C-alpha cells in the first residue's frame, strides 16, 4: 500500500464537493457551491438532502453498488446577505491502489460554511471555512478558509475568482499548507421558476506540496469543468463534463467524467436525479466509476 | 494587516476599507462612519542562504479595529497579533516569532479642513537572537502627535511624530524618533466610482546605546519606510492595493524588504463588510555586502469580517 500514503491529499480532493459551482449557483437549489461568492446568485433560500450511490470496476477488481455518501445543505438568503451550510457524512470513496490495480476503501466527511454579500445585483464577495476529515485508512484532517468575488459583467454574463488556503495535518505527519485558486465564467438567461439556461466554465488548481520527508501530500491538481443546465417548464436537464489532472510524470493520473441530470424544479419542491460516469486513467490503465445521485430540496423565501 | 513587521494601514486619510486602521491619529477624523472589523490570517515562507533553506516559516494572526465618533471627538483602536511557528537556527540571523501591536488614536480638535490628533502605540515582540542563543522579548511604546490638512475636496496632507521607547529582556533601554509624512488624493463620490491614492514616508532615526554591566547594547538602525496605496471602489466592491518598502542596515549589511498586498472587499454604506486580502513579502540583502543568495519570502492570506454603522 505505497500508493495510499502518496495519494492522501488526493483522496479528499477526489471526494470534494465535485458538484460545486464556481461562478453562480446551480439552477437546482439542492446543489452546493464551491466558492462562497456563488451563493449570492441563488434564487432564494433552500434546504436539501442528497444521497449518492456508486460502483467501481477494473479488469481485476470491482466494487459493487453501495452508498457513497449522504449530505445536507441549508442555504439562507434573507436579503443581500447569503449563508450556506453543507455537510457530507459517512463518505466512502473507493480509491485505486495502483501497485496492485485494486480498489481500497477510504472513509471521511466534509463540511463548509459560506457567507457572501451581493451588492446592487452586480457584485458579490464571500468567505468560506471548510473542514474535510479522512478517518480511514489513516486519519487526516484538511481545514481551509478562503474568499472569492464575482461580478455580473453584462446582463447575464458573470465572472468569478477565488482563493482557498488549505492546511493538511495527520497524526504523525507534518502539517502542510497550500493555496487553491478557482476561477470561471458563467452565462445565465431566463426565469429560474419556469425557463432558464445556465452555462458555466470553471477551473481550479493547486500546486504540488511535499512534507519534511519529501512525501507528496498534495499533488499538482488542475480541474477543468464545463456545465450546461436548461430549465424548460420546470423540468431541469443538465450536463457537466469534467477533466481532473493530478500529479506529473509517473505519478500522473487523469480523471474524465460526464454527469447527466434530469428532474423537476418547482417553486417549492425540487427532485433531480444525476448519473455520473467517470474514468480514472493511471499508467494507461482505466478504472471506471458510476455514480447515481438523488437530490431533494425545498425552496422558500 | 498581513505584515508581522509594520502596520498595514493608511497614513493621511482612512482607507476605503473602513475596518482598516490609520497610522497617524489625526486621519481618523476624516472617517465617514463608525466601524468594527476582525481579520484572521495565515502565511507561509522560507528564508534561504546559499541556496539552502534555513527557515520554514508558518505564521498566523488576528487583527481587530474599531472606530467611532461622538460629535467632533473621534476614537480609534486597533489590535494586531502575529505568531510565527518555526525552529530557531543558532547559525543564522535573528528571527521574529511573535509580534503584538496596539494603536489607540484620538482626534482632539478639528474642523472640515484641519485635524489634530494624538495616539498611543505599543508593540511587543519576541525574537530568537543567535548571538545570545535565547529569546529576546522587547516592548516599544510611544506617543504620537499628528496633524492632517485637507486641500480642496480631493487632497489631504499629514504628518506625525512618534517618540518611541524600547525596553527588552536582554538589552539596555533605547529611544528614538519616528517621523511620518504623506499625501493622499480621493476622486469620485460614495455610491459611484471612488478612487483613492496615497503615498507616505516614515523615517526612523538611528540610535545606539552602549551595553551596561548586565545588559547588551541596543542598536536601532536608521529605517526608511515608503507606503503607496491605490484603491478603487464601485458598486460597493473595493479593490485595494498596497506596497511597502522598508530599508535599513544591521551590522554593515543593508536590507530591503518589499511587500505587495491586494484585497477584494464588499463595503456597503452601512452593514456587513467582508472580503479577503493576499500578500507577498520578500527581504534581501543589498548594497556593498549584497548576498544574492540570502532571501526571505512569505505569502499570506487573510479573511475579514466587519460592520459599518
Least confident of A225-239, B10-24, B42-56, B65-79: B42-56
> CB distance from A66 to chain B under 8 Å?
no
Can you give the pLDDT at residue A1? 39
Across the interface, do A167 and B42 touch by the CB < 8 Å criterion? yes
Can you give the pLDDT at residue B116? 93
Q: How confident is the model at residue B5 (pLDDT cuts 50, 70, 90)?
A: very low
What does the DSSP 8-state code read for residue B63?
A: E
Between B91 and B217, the more confident residue is B217
Can you give the pLDDT at residue B9? 61
SS3 labels along A81-96: EEEEEEEEEEEEEEEE
Interface test with A, best of B85, B278, B303, B307 (most A CBs within 10 A): B303
Residue of A nearest to B273 (CA): A117
Q: Which residues of B touch A123 (CB under 8 A)?
A: 235-237, 266
Alpha-carbon separation of residue A111 from A76, A90, A182, B225 (angstroms): 16, 12, 18, 43
Can you give the pLDDT at residue B155? 94
What does pTM read for this prediction?
A: 0.81
Ranges A3-7, A174-178, A183-187, A215-219, most confident: A183-187
Q: Which residues of A touch B301 (CB under 8 A)?
A: 146, 163, 165, 179
Residue of B nearest to A145 (CA): B303
pLDDT at A299 over 50: yes
Across the interface, do A125 and B299 touch by the CB < 8 Å criterion? no
Question: CB–CB of B82/B111 below 8 Å?
Answer: no
Can you give the pLDDT at residue A11? 45
> CB distance from A122 to chain B under 8 Å?
yes
Q: How confident is the model at residue A293 (pLDDT cuts 50, 70, 90)?
A: very high
Tell me what the mean pLDDT of segment A65-88 comes to: 92
Phi, psi for A40 (deg, rounded to 5): -65, -25
Residue ranges of alpha helices (H) inside chain A are 2-6, 8-14
Q: How confident is the model at residue A113 (pLDDT cuts 50, 70, 90)?
A: very high
Q: What is the pLDDT of residues A134-174, one digit of tens each?
A: 887 888 888 899 999 999 988 889 999 999 998 888 877 88
pLDDT at A12 over 50: no
The residue written with cell numbers 482598516 in the block is B20
Interface test with A, best of B264, B268, B270, B307 (most A CBs within 10 A): B264
Across the interface, do A151 and B276 touch by the CB < 8 Å criterion? no
C-alpha to C-alpha distance for A31 and A25, rounded to whole angstroms: 8
The residue written with cell numbers 477565488 in the block is A162
Interface test with B, best of A114, A119, A213 (most B CBs within 10 A): A119
Across the interface, do A145 and B40 touch by the CB < 8 Å criterion? yes
Q: What percent of chain B has pLDDT over 90?
A: 50
Q: What is the pLDDT of residues A215-228, one digit of tens each?
A: 778 888 899 999 99
Q: Which residues of B touch A165 (CB under 8 A)?
A: 42, 301
Q: How far is B294 from chain A (nearest CA, A)?
A: 21
ipTM: 0.73
Can you give the pLDDT at residue B7? 52
Interface test with A, best of B2, B233, B236 (most A CBs within 10 A): B236
Q: How confident is the model at residue A95 (pLDDT cuts 50, 70, 90)?
A: confident
Q: How far is B271 from chain A (nearest CA, A)?
A: 10
Question: CB–CB of A49/A72 below 8 Å?
Answer: yes
For residue B305, the tally of other CB atoms under 10 A from its CB is 16
Q: Which residues of A touch B237 (CB under 8 A)?
A: 119, 122-123, 125, 149, 151
Biggest alpha carbon–alpha carbon distance for chain A: 57
Least confident of A88-97, A197-206, B90-99, B144-153: B90-99
Of the candidates B44, B272, B304, which has its C-beta nearest A117's C-beta?
Answer: B272
Residue of A nearest to B267 (CA): A119
pLDDT at B291 over 80: no
Q: Residues with Cβ < 8 Å from A56, sequence gap 6 or more?
A: A62, A63, A94, A103, A287, A288, A289, A290
Across the interface, do A127 and B275 touch by the CB < 8 Å criterion? yes
Residue of B nearest to A211 (CA): B56
Q: How far is B201 from chain A (nearest CA, A)?
A: 31
A-B C-beta contacts closer than 8 Å: 65
pLDDT at A214 over 80: no
Q: How confident is the model at residue B65 (pLDDT cuts 50, 70, 90)?
A: very high
Q: Which residues of B touch A84 (CB under 8 A)?
A: none
Q: Which three cell numbers stand for residue B43?
A: 502565511
Q: How confident is the model at residue A122 (pLDDT cuts 50, 70, 90)?
A: confident
> CB distance from A149 to chain B under 8 Å?
yes
What does the DSSP 8-state code read for residue B34?
A: -
Of the candidates A119, A126, A146, which has its C-beta nearest B235's C-beta?
Answer: A119
Across the interface, do A123 and B235 touch by the CB < 8 Å criterion? yes
Q: Residues with Cβ < 8 Å from A117, sequence gap 6 or more?
A: A40, A80, A81, A82, A124, A125, A126, B266, B268, B271, B272, B274
Across the interface, do B274 and A120 touch by the CB < 8 Å criterion? no
Q: Residues with Cβ < 8 Å from B214, sequence gap 6 or more?
A: none
> CB distance from A165 to chain B under 8 Å?
yes
pLDDT at B67 over 90: yes
Of the candidates B40, B236, B276, which has its C-beta nearest A119's C-beta?
Answer: B236
Q: Which residues of A touch B276 (CB under 8 A)?
A: 127, 146-148, 163
Q: Which residues of A touch B271 (CB under 8 A)?
A: 80, 117
Question: CB–CB of B154/B182 below 8 Å?
Answer: no
Amino acid at each position: 500500500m505505497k500508493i495510499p500514503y502518496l495519494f492522501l491529499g488526493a483522496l479528499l480532493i477526489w471526494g470534494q464537493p465535485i458538484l460545486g459551482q464556481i461562478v453562480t449557483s446551480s439552477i437546482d437549489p439542492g446543489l452546493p457551491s464551491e466558492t462562497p461568492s456563488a451563493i449570492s446568485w441563488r434564487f432564494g433560500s433552500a434546504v436539501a438532502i442528497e444521497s449518492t450511490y456508486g460502483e467501481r470496476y477494473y479488469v481485476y477488481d470491482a466494487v459493487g453498488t453501495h452508498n457513497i455518501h449522504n449530505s445536507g445543505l441549508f442555504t439562507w438568503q434573507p436579503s443581500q446577505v447569503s449563508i450556506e451550510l453543507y455537510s457530507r457524512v459517512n463518505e466512502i470513496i473507493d480509491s485505486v491502489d495502483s501497485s496492485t490495480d485494486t480498489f481500497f476503501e477510504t472513509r471521511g466527511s466534509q463540511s463548509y460554511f459560506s457567507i457572501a454579500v451581493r451588492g446592487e445585483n452586480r457584485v458579490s464577495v464571500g468567505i468560506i471555512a471548510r473542514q474535510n476529515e479522512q478517518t480511514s485508512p489513516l486519519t487526516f484532517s484538511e481545514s481551509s478558509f478562503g474568499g472569492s468575488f464575482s461580478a455580473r459583467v453584462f446582463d447575464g454574463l458573470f465572472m468569478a475568482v477565488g482563493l482557498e488556503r488549505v492546511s493538511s495535518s495527520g497524526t504523525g505527519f507534518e502539517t502542510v499548507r497550500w493555496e487553491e485558486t478557482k476561477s470561471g465564467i458563467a452565462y445565465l438567461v431566463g426565469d429560474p421558476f419556469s425557463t432558464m439556461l445556465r452555462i458555466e466554465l470553471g477551473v481550479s488548481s493547486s500546486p504540488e506540496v511535499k512534507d519534511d520527508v519529501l512525501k507528496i501530500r498534495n499533488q499538482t491538481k488542475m480541474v477543468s469543468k464545463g456545465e450546461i443546465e436548461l430549465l424548460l417548464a420546470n423540468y431541469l436537464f443538465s450536463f457537466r463534463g469534467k477533466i481532473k489532472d493530478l500529479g506529473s510524470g509517473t505519478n500522473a493520473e487523469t480523471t474524465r467524467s460526464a454527469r447527466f441530470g434530469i428532474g423537476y424544479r418547482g417553486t417549492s419542491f425540487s427532485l433531480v436525479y444525476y448519473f455520473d460516469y467517470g474514468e480514472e486513467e493511471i499508467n494507461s490503465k482505466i478504472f471506471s466509476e458510476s455514480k447515481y445521485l438523488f437530490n431533494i430540496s425545498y425552496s422558500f423565501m | 494587516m498581513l505584515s508581522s513587521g509594520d502596520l498595514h494601514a493608511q497614513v493621511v486619510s482612512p482607507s476605503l476599507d473602513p475596518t482598516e486602521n490609520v497610522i497617524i491619529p489625526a486621519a481618523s477624523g476624516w472617517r465617514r462612519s463608525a466601524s468594527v472589523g476582525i481579520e484572521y490570517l495565515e502565511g507561509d515562507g522560507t528564508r534561504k542562504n546559499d541556496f539552502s533553506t534555513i527557515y520554514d516559516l508558518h505564521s498566523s494572526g488576528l487583527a481587530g479595529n474599531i472606530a467611532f465618533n461622538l460629535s467632533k471627538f473621534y476614537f480609534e483602536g486597533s489590535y494586531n497579533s502575529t505568531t510565527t511557528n518555526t525552529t530557531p537556527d543558532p547559525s543564522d540571523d535573528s528571527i521574529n516569532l511573535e509580534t503584538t501591536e496596539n494603536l489607540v488614536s484620538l482626534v482632539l480638535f478639528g474642523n472640515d479642513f484641519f485635524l489634530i490628533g494624538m495616539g498611543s502605540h505599543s508593540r511587543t515582540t519576541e525574537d530568537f537572537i543567535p548571538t545570545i542563543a535565547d529569546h529576546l522579548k522587547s516592548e516599544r511604546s510611544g506617543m504620537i502627535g499628528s496633524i492632517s490638512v485637507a486641500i480642496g475636496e480631493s487632497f489631504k496632507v499629514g504628518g506625525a511624530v512618534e517618540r518611541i521607547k524600547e525596553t527588552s529582556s536582554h538589552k539596555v533601554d533605547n529611544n528614538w524618533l519616528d517621523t511620518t509624512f504623506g499625501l493622499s488624493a480621493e476622486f469620485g463620490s460614495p455610491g459611484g466610482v471612488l478612487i483613492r491614492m496615497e503615498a507616505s514616508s516614515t523615517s526612523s532615526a538611528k540610535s545606539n546605546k552602549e551595553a551596561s554591566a548586565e545588559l547588551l547594547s541596543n542598536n536601532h538602525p536608521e529605517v526608511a519606510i515608503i507606503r503607496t496605496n491605490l484603491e478603487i471602489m464601485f458598486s460597493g466592491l473595493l479593490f485595494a492595493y498596497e506596497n511597502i518598502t522598508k530599508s535599513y542596515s544591521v551590522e554593515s549589511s543593508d536590507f530591503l524588504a518589499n511587500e505587495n498586498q491586494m484585497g477584494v472587499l464588499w463595503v456597503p454604506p452601512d452593514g456587513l463588510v467582508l472580503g479577503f486580502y493576499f500578500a507577498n513579502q520578500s527581504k534581501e540583502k543589498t548594497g556593498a555586502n549584497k548576498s544574492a543568495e540570502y532571501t526571505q519570502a512569505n505569502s499570506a492570506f487573510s479573511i475579514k469580517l466587519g460592520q459599518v454603522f
